Amino acid sequence: MIRTTVLACLLFAPAMALANDGFGGLSATGLTFGQTDAVAMEEEDLFIGIEHIRVAYVFRNTTAADVTGEVIFPLPPIPLAGMMESSWNLPEDRERENLVNFTATVDGAPVPVQIDRIAVIEPPWEEGRPLNAQYDTPGRDVTAELAALGIPLTVNPDTVVAMLLAMTPDQQAKIAAAGLAEYFPTDTGSVDYVAPAWSVILRYHWTQTFPAGAVVKIVHDYENRPAGGLFGWEDPPTADYMQYQVDRYCVDAGTSRAMAKALAYTDESGETYSMGMAWNIDYVLRTANSWAGPIGKFRLTLDKGAATNVVSLCADGIQKTGPTTFVMEKTNFTPDRDLEILVAGPLER
């Protein structure tokens, strides 16, 4: 049953609650180390594909003393209510501890990575809120409140809903009063539907020492789980939602024509449509600004997955290097915006 209150919240959530023909997903990010003036990122080699992301870094401790701290790879908040109302590009096994199969090596050797989970009540959706804000200010931490109730920090909404419905009436009243969930009573007063209000955040981390004056090479990779779904396009773009895509992904006239051509097909009745599949890949570049100074050498390799796919993003100096690959290189690079990438392609017919 679609409940009005929940639906009203979800319709305004960016890439989290799409139409029935779409699925929600996660933005991706790099490594953070707090704010340091001691360790510089000399190189970042970033590969982004539809299903996989790999980043190779070269860090240098620019001081005469060892520096030790936590290297952190955060995922954005995953809203349980959003997962109840739409499909999500997450593993079939929602109970998997390492949700995106994150791995890391330091100087070529695998490093054991800890995985922390916290729960937050996210702030209200705000148009134009930068991608990095969901990592920097994710919301009110309610981890301890859920632990006191015995509720695990799973991203499986079925598990959570079953536990919330099994609570006593007094417990349900306290949970609702604390803003942790919204219960929906039936006409007879019984409760058969509940919407959890929190989101779950996974943070991968390990303790790392950067020796004085030395270079440390860190490589990490993980599954890319972007949002996406059915995608229609016409050229020239006229609908409001198309103009939003034009602005967000810097879709120029040539790319617009290419998308309309790639997505075009004719059905059995002879009707011609322009409909396909799209992936909305977000990558938070500005976490790199937590390290000392600019990125000495930055290289982005983007793989659109298939030669028939079309890609668009706001980036200067990106060059096609193969049937599916594009490369952008920068020196002394200080990211001032995050990557938002549109990949669109024909449906399998």
Strand-pairing partners, residue 185, are: 191
HSE-CB at 226 with a 13 A cutoff on CA atoms is 25
Average pLDDT for residues 335-342, to the nearest whole number?
93
Task: Please tell me the distance from the alpha carbon of residue 342 to that of residue 346, in angstroms, as a whole number.
Answer: 14
Residues 160-171 have pLDDT tens digits of 999 999 999 999
Least confident of 86-90, 163-167, 264-268: 264-268
> Could you tell me where in the chain the CATH 2.60.40.3680 domains are found?
4-226+281-341
Which CATH number is associated with domain 4-226+281-341?
Answer: 2.60.40.3680
The four Cα atoms 312, 273, 11, 87 give a dihedral, to 10 degrees, of -80
Mean pLDDT of 252-274: 90
Residue 18 has pLDDT above 50, yes or no: no
Q: Which residue has tokens 């989970």?
A: 117
Cα(231)–Cα(274) distance, integer angstroms:
9
The predicted model gives 191-211 an average pLDDT of 96
Mean pLDDT is lowest, of 16-25, 146-155, 261-270, 326-335, for 16-25
Alpha carbon distance, N-terminus to C-terminus of the chain = 32
Q: Is the pLDDT of residue 81 over 80?
A: yes
Which residues lie closer than 8 Å to 213 by C-beta, 6 or more apart? 60, 61, 62, 63, 64
Express each pLDDT in 305-332 by its tens digit: 999 999 999 999 999 999 999 999 999 9
Q: Is the peptide bond before 236 cis (omega within 30 degrees of 0)?
A: yes
Q: Evaluate if residue 14 carries a pLDDT over 70.
A: no
How confident is the model over 218-248, as pLDDT tens digits? 999 999 999 999 999 999 998 888 899 999 9
Residue 290: per-residue pLDDT: 82
Mean pLDDT of 172-179: 96
Could you report the per-residue pLDDT of 277-296, keeping only the tens digit for each?
Answer: 999 999 999 877 788 889 99
Residues in the chain, total? 349
Predicted local distance difference test score (pLDDT) of residue 128: 81
When pLDDT is cut at 50, 70 and 90, the band that residue 28 belongs to is very high
Indicate the pLDDT class of residue 349, thresholds 50, 70 and 90. low
What's the chain's average pLDDT? 90
Count how many Cα atoms sit within 13 Å of the Cα of residue 155 in the half-sphere of its side chain: 29
pLDDT for residue 125? 87
Q: Tell whether the model's pLDDT for residue 11 goes beyond 70.
A: no
Report the range out of 10-24, 45-59, 188-202, 238-252 with the highest average pLDDT: 45-59
16 against 166, higher pLDDT: 166
Query: Can you tell me the distance from the alpha carbon of 283 to that of 220, in angstroms, rounded to the nearest whole number?
Result: 15
Q: What is the mean pLDDT of residues 28-45?
A: 91
Res 99: pLDDT: 96
Beta strand 52-61 with 67-74 is unpaired
CA–CA dist 93, 215 (Å, integer): 38
Q: Among 8-22, 159-173, 262-276, 292-306, which is the least confidently predicted range?
A: 8-22
101-160 pLDDT, tens digit per residue, is 999 999 999 999 999 999 999 999 888 888 888 888 999 999 999 999 999 999 999 999
d(CA 113, CA 103) in angstroms, rounded, equals 8
Three-state secondary structure of the chain = CCCHHHHHHHCCCCCCCCCCCEEECCCEECCECCCCCCEEEEEEEEEECCCEEEEEEEEEECCCCCEEEEEEEECCCEEHHHHHHCEECCCCCCCCCCCCCCEEEECCEECCCEEEEEEEECCCCCCCCCCCHHHHCCCEECHHHHHHHCCCCCCCHHHHHHHHHCCCHHHHHHHHHCCCEEEEECCCCCEEEEEECCEEEEEEEEEEEECCCCEEEEEEEEECCCEEEEEECCCCCCCHHHHHHHHHHCCCHHHHHHHHHHHEEECCCCCEEEEEEEEEEEEEHHHHHHCECCEEEEEEEEECCCCCCEEEECCCCCEECCCCEEEEEEEEECCCCCEEEEEEEECCC
- Whether pLDDT at 2 is above 60: no
pLDDT (mean) for 249-265: 95
Burial of 191 (0-12, 13-18, 19+ CB in 10 A): middle
Do the bridges between strand 39-48 and strand 295-303 make them parallel or antiparallel, or are there none, so unpaired? parallel
